[in-house]
Structure 1
Amino acid sequence: MKNTVQDEKIKNEETEFVKESHDPKQEYIFQKSGITKKGFFIIIAFLVVLVVALVASGVVF
């Protein structure tokens, strides 16, 4: 006897990483838009500052 459980809430697992602005799909992680690009660069800048501060604190102590 084979016991399997299927989750009915998950319809489509075809999630893509980046959505083009002209594409009408629903399953995506990031949309290729100006705010996504700005947010990406803000996060990268914050991480760079964090790494520089970590290295500087290691040099001082």
Structure 2
Amino acid sequence: MIDLSVLELGRVRPDSDRRAALDEARALTQHAERCGYKRIWVAEHHNMPTVTTAATSLVIAHIAPVR
């Protein structure tokens, strides 16, 4: 079987905010892990008001599962 990964962009939806986007990224990470995905990639984008992933280390700290 091929190991699958997820690419997280941290998109801020219309009528939402950055905190909600990070919380959705965490929920996606947890769901992907339960489904057997092996890796979560966080895209690093700067100067985009609808994307929360400029500081990837902070995003990773927020979405990484606690063990």
When normalised by structure 2's length, the TM-score is: 0.32
What TM-score, normalized to structure 1?
0.35
RCO comparison, higher one (Cα < 8 Å, 6+) = 2
Structure showing greater Rg: 1
